[in-house]
Structure 1
Amino acid sequence: MAEAYFRLIHAVTYFAILVLIVHEKRFAAVSHPMALRVYWGLSYVIVFLFAITAIIRLFFTGNDLVVLRMDDIVVLASLPLYVYLVVVSIRGSSGICEDGVVGNDDELDSNVSGYETASLFSKAVWNWMNPLLSKGYKSALKLDEVPSLPPDFRAEKMEEFFEKKWPKSGENVKYPVLTTLIRCFWKDLVIISLLAILQLVVMYVGPVLIQSFISFTSGDRSNPSEGYYLVLILLISKVLEVLSAHHFSFLSELLGMKIRSSIITTIYKKGLRLTCSSRQAHGVGQIVNYMAVDSQQLSDMMLQLHAVWMMPLQIVASLLLLYYYLGVSMFAALILIVATLISTLWMSSKSNQYQYHLTIKRDSRMKVINELLGNMRVIKFQAWEEHFKEKILSLRNQEFKWLSKFIYLLSWNLSLLWSMSQVISAFTFGAAIFFKNPLDAATVFTATTVFRILQDPIRNFPQSLLSISQAMVSLGRLDGYMTSRELDSNVVERQQGCNGRIAVEVKDGTFSWEDDGDQIVLKDINLEVRKGELAAIVGMVGSGKSSLLASILGELHKISGEVRVCGSTAYVAQTSWIQNSTIQENILFGSPMNNKRYKDVLRVCSLEKDMEILEHGDQTEIGERGINLSGGQKQRIQLARAVYQDRDVYLLDDIFSAVDAQTGSEIFKECVRGALKDKTVVLVTHQVDFLHNADLILVMRDGQIVQSGKYDELLKSGMDFGDLVAAHENSMELVESSTEASGECLPQSSPKSPHPLTPKSSQKSQVVANGGSSSLDQQPKGSSKLIKDEEREAGHVSFDVYKQYCTEAFGWWGVVAVVIISLFWQAAAMANDFWLAYETSKDHAWNPSLFIDVYSIIAGMCCIFVIGRSYLVAILGLKTAQRLFDQIINSILHAPMSFFDTTPSGRILSRVQYLPSPDSDL
């Protein structure tokens, strides 16, 4: 009767679940109902308790024969399904998107990763990856063939989520970055923890079943079905172990990528809002390190985080099993495990010290190499290659000293951890013989399996602690950066659309570059620039002209006053900023192409003649830092970029400083007073000749506007503006007199062409002068790319790469030595297992003293071979790393200058930064 009621309750429950699921599909519920999620969570708890009861009934009842009940098998088999249900209940999402995919047309294509829409089975076995793997197997994948990220995984979504969870201004949070990450990703952490617990539970099913298998194979059990049940349980446990382990790694890596993506995007956006003092405290190099190093440390920590709390659980579970099978002999294993942990922790602390010194020496070497690459042209002109080579090798030798200490200590640590299972098992079996505990085949192999399971957590524990400590340091650095002072977005009152009379206005403005306002750079600033006016700012060097533009942009700390800007703004800096791309891409800057407007911009910025001279015109690729352009060309390109954007207000900071007088006059006439005639232009300039065209002139001295008005008014008033005009006229007279004097000493020559001829134009002129047609016009043009694409190998790594690394140090003799000692090590390990099986078999008389003596000798041989192998590999690796470094430095120093013109220094530095891989990782 009770069973009938139980079945009735089950039927009603499942009917209610069906109604709730239909409700989701009908009303497109974004999340599962709370009642359904609570039911799934409670069901998991009940089934988990039933599973524990079944395991205890199966293996810990004290009976020699294991009684297999059908309900126990059903509970154990259904446990993974309930694990999935509790994961779904924690996440809460039903998979139905409320607003659809939001984004541009790129995000609406079909080439999106199938992970989000994959079924449970497809996710479990990674079936959703098969199409991409199949395509990659047939041919090398191209960038457009790689599926794009799902919307929820994209950087902008991650950054938005991170900003949403960031502590509010009123919250007193000591570790804001860590708090935000926990708020964002706590569900992912819980799911990964559940997988870790599942992996931990099923990991010990194999050792527990060994005794049952041995009893069955020895004929103690006559029912054949019990053998099938044992195989079925072992198969299910191993499948669960493999799936949980791989999904644990996959989800940990995925969570690390999410964290890294959100951190990098947030760091970048924060960098755009830093105040001047904050930018000085966090330089460009530091911000790059935050994005490249610290974010990666947090990402890598995700794999190591759970090992810290899992290791004590694994050790406790292992010790309980050992106590169940070996009794008090387990304490011998406990003592050795504690000693191993203490020694590994001590070696880990020493390793941290060595790594600290190694990092300092490596940074010193990288700094010199960076200076070498930045000044390679001067070094080659002066033939200083050998001098710099000696300096770099000297720093490398200091680095190599600490690297050797670190590698040898690492080799000893690995030797200890790899030989730990043999040593602990020998001592534990010796203690069992001493306490006269019975040792049969099932007990010995169960204990040996447990010892091997213990290897991984103990071996990974020091690395986990190191990774977490490094991540905590990175969190502290990121906390300092993310909580640094930002520019006040309300400093400038911006109005969209310029319908009023005033376009730029500053009232009673006092500004400082510092946040505390101690050093005032602008004071008592009052100005009004009307819509469509040209306002010129003049003054001596250091009078505050560029700072005034910065205050209009909102880059200065406002102490008092008001700043209003009407409409959108474009800014052209005094120092040109050029991207490593084509001229056209630099001008468009991501805007859509408008051919008519583009041609007009080239004309008004005096770039048409340059496009004719350059072999590939506007498709010419600009080298790193604009190395293949003159200063005037770079300045005109960035001016063209601003003009093409079609803004309301233009802030131009001394744009004529890098161009000659004729070109400057053309730009002022065609661009400033032509294309921008209806725009509001604020121009900082030293060119007095252009000032009579300005609608408003502002004269600055010591951070103040001392005069303002039109040209004639200021000239009549004298004072500072009169001094500037007079100083300009005197300097022009000196230039003209010096030019006339030098011209008398020079032979007569043809007038200079406005542009120097390139090799292309010189060759063309010579051919035409000889009466023939230009052969250059008939030749096909070469590639417009200046910077060469990085060459990457496709497919598998060739055998020559392995051969070079393995034979670089001592030829094939080193490889043969490593192979031989590895074979001896494996042979000793196999002999260990064989001796266990031989001595514990029923056909052989049990001799405890002989057993432990031979077992100890074999274990000692394993330790010797492991130590020899580790140190031999360390010696080979260090020698190979040093030889590869010498080859890299020689290749860099003896490469032609054209190599550095066509290869970005960042690419060369990245190759040099790969040295930690051959130094220690390999």
Structure 2
Amino acid sequence: MDDEEKVDKLYQTFVGHLERLKNGDKKVTKMMLLKALHSTLIFDTWTALLIKVASDVSTCCAPLLLKKLTDFVEFSTLDDNVYYGRGAGYAVGVALLITFGSLTINYSFYRATVLSCKVRSILTRSLLEKSFHINAHGFHKFPSSRINSIMSTDLSRVDLGLTMTIIVLFSVVPIAITIALLIVNIGVSALAGIACFFIVFVILGVSFKSLVKLRKKASVYTDIRVKLTKEFLTNFKMIKFYSWENSYRERIEDARKKEVKFNLSMQFIKNLLMSIALGLPNLSSMVAFLTMSRVSPQRTSGDIFSSFAFFQNISTIFFQLPMAIGGAANVKVAFQRVADFLSCDDIDLKQFELKLLEDEKISIQASECDFEWETFDDEEEEDDSDGDKKSDKKSKIKNKEMIKVETKDSASSSFEVSSTTNQKAIFSGLKNVNFQIAKGEFVVVAGSVGTGKSSLLCALSGFMKRTKGELSVSGDSILCGRLWIKNDTIRENILFGLPYDSIRYQQIIDVCCLQPDFDQFAGGDLTEVGERGITLSGGQKARICLARSVYADKDIIYLDDVLSAVDAKVGKHIVEKCICGYLKGKTVVLATHQINLAEKADRMIFLNGDGTLQIGKLDELKANYPSVSSFFEKVSAEKRKEPEVRDIETQQAVKQVDVPNNSGNNENGIVRIIGDEEKAVNGLAFSVYKTYFNLGVGVFKMSFLPLFISLVVLSTFTTYFSNVWLAYWIEKHFAHRSYGFYSGIYILMNMMFVILIGGEFIMLGYFCVTAAKKLNLGAMRRILHAPVVFMDISPLGRVLNRFTKDTDVLDNEIIDQMRMAIYPIGMMVGVFILCIIYLPWFAIAIPILVFLYIFITVYYQASSRELKRIDALRRSLVFTQFNESIEGMETIKAYNRKSYFVTRLNTLMDNNNEVYFLTWAIQRWLAVNFSLLTLVFILVISLLCCFRVFSISAADTGLLLSYAITIPSFLQLAVRCLAQIETEFNSVERLDYYATEMVQEAAYEIPENDPPASWPQYGQIEFTNVSLKYRPELPYVIKDLNLSFKGGEKVGFCGRTGAGKSTFMTCLYRLTEFEGAITIDGIDISQLGLHKLRSNMTIIPQDPVLFVGNIRSNLDPFNEYDDDTLWNALVTSNLIDESELATVKPQTAEDKNFHKFHLDRDVEDNGSNFSLGEKQLIALARAVVRKTKILILDEATSSVDYITDDKIQSAIATRFNDCTVLSIAHRLKTILSFDKIVVMDNGAVVQFGEPKELFDDKSGLFRSMCNQSGIDENDFI
């Protein structure tokens, strides 16, 4: 690919033109986009258009030679001494003109396809670029799911839609030429037929508006469906834990059914238009000839059939108009959605500017600074789905801002962060920040949950809007905040696009305590971590992100609670070797809830919670500020209950993940966890077509195919017989019959054709829409019940592609291509039959032509099939990369690695475009070869007519040639559409794989095995000889477990990482099927449906999941509980004080003191407007709402501070006092008060009993762990 055709070059040119058109205006309109794209791709545009005009002109001129040849045949019947060389010349001329038109239209179509692909690539790059600069309000209006929907669905429609629009755009030229030639040919009678075209043209204009409106309405439900799909795919395991599959299925099916309803309406309109367009040549010529028969009846066969050929030329254009109009409607909607996104406000860079300090001794200086998060009015969007315009505006407080980092060398990046808040009202900002931090200082930031620790780091690093004062820094800075891992090797996650320095890299690995982990990975640091880092524990993610920030080698490093997910031993190593060792001399600001680190820091910043702060030595702050002293006393009290030292983990081992058999080491030594995309070899399996057919027939069952074929045959017969009858009429074949007899049958045949072709297309539309609906829903239902490991090894972008791009292909593209393939195939078969009837010798050529067609097609398919596979796979990589860039936007901005990710997307798009261009090039190669065969066909027919073989008449010659010259256009259309159908059936194949072959979990519902409604009544759990391994060839993770827990017992699980603690949860939830038996209240859980089992247990996971919506929808997503239950859950979880509940309930979003945890409080994407501790408390409230007899805590407090931990433990003790609680411990002392403790090692239970009993066994593993954790006899009192 030339550099001029690469995405980066095209985008830079496009941006220059767009900025010129904007002329300083922020708003982007779809016309601006169109003009900028035209200026960028002017050569491609006009090349395609002008070559199309040349093709149309040659096609328009062909009927003139057809008339000459027909007149020659008529003259030869009267004079035996005619010069046949002239007739042969006419025959060769017709063949050459048609062939030239065919060759040029192929090249024009190829250029238009390349142009459309470039437009899609430019707009995809524009979406990603804008995402890096858009402000908070824009991101609220366009969340990641909507951006992905625009990229994967709307822009995919631009491909074919824009291609068809460009092809038809200059149709006015051939239409004008044809009209002029018609008037010359048959006089004013032609105007009567031409009037039909203009009436249809008006209908098309009205229909275009209807299609645009329907497309907008359908897009509303498409966005909803994609949002829900992405939500459940992103939180796959969480949804299985809570047994929400059916509820999600119902919501997605509801959105899908409404989307399909509008799709059916669009297809009905397009089918109606198409049937009218196809009937136009017959209807218009009928009107013209009936008029002519009254006005000037003395017209020759040449006049009539050449005029019919002219009408055919116009109808070919009008035949493509409905598809072009549908495509243009899609393009218009896509351009509008892109323009709306590009019109969103960017970050105001002035509000985030960092000044450069001249004093080299000072690293950070804040002078009387105020910082705040953005607030804005959220306007409810107009819902196009029902046409009701909503004028009311609901003011909602948002606390999310897009911000800007300005480095010393003016390199910049944007970053999106979330603020934290106090308990009662949303945290709005920091006030009167005034301090200096010297170069090389280690400063700890402390404070209660929600007081603004993360906000301060964002403010200092230039990621929070400054409304007052001046902030200056000396050197470059970096913020290590959200633990985001990209789907790549561990090494690439640490390098993050920077060059590899082996010595420095190894030093950083050592100080971040990662080497023991690497030693346990099969590929060391070249092991792929999977999407979202699924193979890593929380501690491993934290240390990889820390290593990434250290490797970035900045002067100032802001660390946001990076030690919360690691155990004490590892944390101590990191503090001593990394923060106080390797980073010595650099300025480090660490926000943490581990306040003992304040003693190691040079100074501490303490946040009061009202936006104010104090800075100084720890002893000074305690002595001078009662709030600091009180805070430390409170935390110390919690620490006495629960020491800092946590469950000892000697090494962080890789999680057990059920990796597909095809994963392993590649040639570079990289160990892969992500499975290859499913890909059939050779051709598409017949079963794919069979499945599609069986799904599409719907209510017709076995009658569909005979009925549909009958309609195709009858519609083809009526269109041909109408013109055969016209030839009879011209020759007065039935001399005794009246004018009314001839005209009546002629009118009847033409009207029957329109009705029959309309019925044919409506049946086809029903067939395709029904198949698309069932395939999508079938795939959706299957993936909802796929095992958890499926999403662990499948990139989100790839899976989402099935429900966006592939579904859109089934909804819109396949039906258009089928409609435009079936008609020309029927017409070509009709032409061949007509030729054999009139010229029997032509039958000799049929086998030869068929053989050559098949030979060329088979030769073409060998390359085409593989290119299409590669195109599909490479396009999935583009989708995956785009989605990953959007999801990791915060981290990418923080590390100023925008250029790295944009370049990577450019490369993937360039690679995809190379294959895409080749795919269309060989399609055109096929069409060109078919055109050359068609040249032979037309030449043979023309010469046979010229020499009057079988005494063919002039009228029959005109009839045959008027249809023969349509063969190239029909052939071009059929070849293009059949090739496209084969390509698009790859989407059917992929969805069919999901809908029929995807591995499923055990039965979700087994009604006959349902336990009593009161089950479980006691919560008694018993394990009998339980063993589990993730695949037959892998070793057992746990083996021969025999345990029994009484109802209501509190049982803690402890052991080193990899000991098998979390496997208990896997067994209980049957995420992987086990050997042996587990009973709950005497009922074997392996005999139960998964829904009944999982819905009767509740889990609070280590990483809390919040969904976009509000707190009410997060506690009760499917409206199963009343508000009183939800309010009580918030009180129980210590999110709202019981004393203030009566005051909080009536509050609305407009209230100034709107409570942060009000049920109507908005929850942003990923819960980004809440701190980690707050999200964990909301997750606890969700568990309280369910109130099941069995509660599982999967290291639920590992990443929260002691105060939050205490709140969670207190709520559990109160609310779940009569429940069986199974807790996988991260902090060992949290389970010392439990009834029983299970100590695990290497997949086996090594100790089980009461905590004090186990402690008294001095040789036991539990006693060893207690000794290392500083636990003694006094802790058991």
Is this a same-fold pair by TM over 0.5? yes
Q: Is the 8 A contact 2:353 2:462 kept in 1?
A: no
Q: Is the 8 A contact 2:66 2:90 kept in 1?
A: no
- 1:686 aligns with one of 593, 599, 603: 593
Against the structure 1 CA distance between its residues 387 and 726, is the aligned structure 2 distance closer, same or farther, given a 3 Å change threshold?
closer
CA distance in 2, matches of 1:571, 1:479: 32
1:260 counterpart SS class: helix
1:537 and 2:445 are equivalent in the alignment: yes
Q: Which residue of structure 2 aligns with residue 877 of structure 1?
A: 768
1:238 and 2:98 are equivalent in the alignment: yes
TM alignment of 1:118-129, pairs within 5 A: none
Q: Percent identity?
A: 25
Against the structure 1 CA distance between its residues 733 and 600, is the aligned structure 2 distance closer, same or farther, given a 3 Å change threshold?
same
Q: 1:384-434 deviations in whole A, cap 9, x for unaligned?
A: 655655555555555554444444444333322222222222222111112
CA distance in 1, matches of 2:731, 2:112: 44
Q: Report how far residue 689 of structure 1 moved.
A: 1.2
Against the structure 1 CA distance between its residues 352 and 317, is the aligned structure 2 distance closer, same or farther, given a 3 Å change threshold?
same
One-letter amino acid of the counterpart of residue 753, structure 2: C
Q: 1:714-749 deviations in whole A, cap 9, x for unaligned?
A: 34434444333333322212325999xxxxxxxxxx
1:180 and 2:14 are equivalent in the alignment: no
Q: Is the 8 A contact 2:270 2:323 kept in 1?
A: no
Against the structure 1 CA distance between its residues 150 and 784, is the aligned structure 2 distance closer, same or farther, given a 3 Å change threshold?
same
Q: 1:678-719 deviations in whole A, cap 9, x for unaligned?
A: 322222222221123323333333575642233343344344
Against the structure 1 CA distance between its residues 461 and 403, is the aligned structure 2 distance closer, same or farther, given a 3 Å change threshold?
closer
- 2:274 aligns with one of 403, 414, 433: 414
Against the structure 1 CA distance between its residues 857 and 904, is the aligned structure 2 distance closer, same or farther, given a 3 Å change threshold?
same
Q: Which residue of structure 2 aligns with residue 788 of structure 1?
A: 675
2:451 counterpart SS class: coil
Against the structure 1 CA distance between its residues 197 and 332, is the aligned structure 2 distance closer, same or farther, given a 3 Å change threshold?
same
Against the structure 1 CA distance between its residues 888 and 275, is the aligned structure 2 distance closer, same or farther, given a 3 Å change threshold?
closer
- 2:300 aligns with one of 411, 436, 440: 440
- 2:63 aligns with one of 207, 224, 234: 207
Q: Which residue of structure 1 aligns with residue 935 of structure 2?
A: none
Query: For the aligned residues, what is the CA RMSD?
Result: 3.9
Q: Which residue of structure 1 aligns with residue 705 of structure 2?
A: 815
Q: 1:117-150 deviations in whole A, cap 9, x for unaligned?
A: xxxxxxxxxxxxxxxxxxxxxxxxxxxxxxxx32
Q: 1:60-118 deviations in whole A, cap 9, x for unaligned?
A: xxxxxxxxxxxxxxxxxxxxxxxxxxxxxxxxxxxxxxxxxxxxxxxxxxxxxxxxxxx
1:522 and 2:430 are equivalent in the alignment: yes
1:158 and 2:66 are equivalent in the alignment: no
CA distance in 2, matches of 1:795, 1:205: 44
Q: Report how far residue 861 of structure 1 moved.
A: 4.0
Q: Is the 8 A contact 1:651 1:682 kept in 2?
A: yes
Q: Which residue of structure 2 aligns with residue 828 of structure 1?
A: 718
Against the structure 1 CA distance between its residues 361 and 443, is the aligned structure 2 distance closer, same or farther, given a 3 Å change threshold?
same
Higher RCO structure, 1 or 2 (CA under 8 Å, sep 6+): 2
Against the structure 1 CA distance between its residues 707 and 181, is the aligned structure 2 distance closer, same or farther, given a 3 Å change threshold?
same
Q: Which residue of structure 2 aligns with residue 571 of structure 1?
A: 479
Greater shift in the superposed pair: 638-647 or 824-833:
824-833
Q: Is the 8 A contact 2:193 2:286 kept in 1?
A: no
Normalized per residue, the structure richer in helix is 1
Q: 1:601-652 deviations in whole A, cap 9, x for unaligned?
A: 2221122233334454434432333333322221111111122222222121
Q: Is the 8 A contact 2:563 2:592 kept in 1?
A: yes
1:338 and 2:198 are equivalent in the alignment: yes
Q: Which residue of structure 1 aligns with residue 315 of structure 2?
A: 455
Against the structure 1 CA distance between its residues 846 and 542, is the aligned structure 2 distance closer, same or farther, given a 3 Å change threshold?
farther
Against the structure 1 CA distance between its residues 918 and 736, is the aligned structure 2 distance closer, same or farther, given a 3 Å change threshold?
closer
Greater shift in the superposed pair: 156-165 or 174-183:
174-183
- What is the number of equivalent residue pairs in this alignment? 742
- 2:534 aligns with one of 627, 636, 649: 627
1:193 and 2:49 are equivalent in the alignment: yes
Q: Is the 8 A contact 1:498 1:531 kept in 2?
A: no
1:258 and 2:165 are equivalent in the alignment: no
One-letter amino acid of the counterpart of residue 799, structure 2: I
Greater shift in the superposed pair: 438-447 or 451-460:
451-460
Against the structure 1 CA distance between its residues 378 and 159, is the aligned structure 2 distance closer, same or farther, given a 3 Å change threshold?
closer
One-letter amino acid of the counterpart of residue 597, structure 1: R
2:19 counterpart SS class: coil
Q: Which residue of structure 1 aligns with residue 459 of structure 2?
A: 551
Against the structure 1 CA distance between its residues 494 and 225, is the aligned structure 2 distance closer, same or farther, given a 3 Å change threshold?
farther
CA distance in 1, matches of 2:219, 2:150: 16
Against the structure 1 CA distance between its residues 812 and 253, is the aligned structure 2 distance closer, same or farther, given a 3 Å change threshold?
same
CA distance in 2, matches of 1:878, 1:302: 23
1:642 and 2:549 are equivalent in the alignment: yes
Q: Which residue of structure 2 aligns with residue 745 of structure 1?
A: none
Against the structure 1 CA distance between its residues 787 and 496, is the aligned structure 2 distance closer, same or farther, given a 3 Å change threshold?
farther
Q: Report how far residue 317 of structure 1 moved.
A: 2.9
Q: Is the 8 A contact 2:66 2:94 kept in 1?
A: no
Q: Is the 8 A contact 2:373 2:464 kept in 1?
A: yes
Q: Which residue of structure 1 aligns with residue 800 of structure 2?
A: 909
Q: Is the 8 A contact 1:623 1:901 kept in 2?
A: yes
Q: Report how far residue 576 of structure 1 moved.
A: 0.8
One-letter amino acid of the counterpart of residue 717, structure 2: A
1:316 counterpart SS class: helix
Q: Report how far residue 361 of structure 1 moved.
A: 4.1
One-letter amino acid of the counterpart of residue 453, structure 1: N
Q: Report how far residue 848 of structure 1 moved.
A: 7.7
1:529 counterpart SS class: strand
2:747 counterpart SS class: helix
Against the structure 1 CA distance between its residues 557 and 234, is the aligned structure 2 distance closer, same or farther, given a 3 Å change threshold?
farther
Q: Report how far residue 206 of structure 1 moved.
A: 0.7
Q: 1:759-796 deviations in whole A, cap 9, x for unaligned?
A: 999xxxxxxxxxxxxxxxxxxxx994332110223443
Q: Which residue of structure 1 aligns with residue 135 of structure 2?
A: 275
CA distance in 1, matches of 2:15, 2:211: 37
Q: Which residue of structure 2 aligns with residue 486 of structure 1?
A: 346
One-letter amino acid of the counterpart of residue 251, structure 1: R
Q: Report how far residue 465 of structure 1 moved.
A: 4.2
Q: Is the 8 A contact 1:494 1:567 kept in 2?
A: no
CA distance in 2, matches of 1:580, 1:311: 48
Against the structure 1 CA distance between its residues 858 and 294, is the aligned structure 2 distance closer, same or farther, given a 3 Å change threshold?
closer
1:728 and 2:635 are equivalent in the alignment: yes
1:785 counterpart SS class: coil
Q: Which residue of structure 2 aligns with residue 587 of structure 1?
A: 494
One-letter amino acid of the counterpart of residue 11, structure 2: E
CA distance in 2, matches of 1:253, 1:325: 36
One-letter amino acid of the counterpart of residue 438, structure 2: R
Q: Report how far residue 275 of structure 1 moved.
A: 3.0
Q: Is the 8 A contact 1:298 1:474 kept in 2?
A: yes
CA distance in 1, matches of 2:655, 2:35: 61
One-letter amino acid of the counterpart of residue 284, structure 1: S
2:298 counterpart SS class: coil
2:469 counterpart SS class: strand
CA distance in 1, matches of 2:808, 2:689: 17
Against the structure 1 CA distance between its residues 291 and 399, is the aligned structure 2 distance closer, same or farther, given a 3 Å change threshold?
closer
Q: Which residue of structure 1 aligns with residue 1177 of structure 2?
A: none
One-letter amino acid of the counterpart of residue 284, structure 2: I
Q: Is the 8 A contact 1:441 1:836 kept in 2?
A: no
1:167 and 2:19 are equivalent in the alignment: yes
CA distance in 2, matches of 1:889, 1:515: 38
CA distance in 1, matches of 2:169, 2:266: 27
Q: Which residue of structure 2 aligns with residue 709 of structure 1?
A: 616
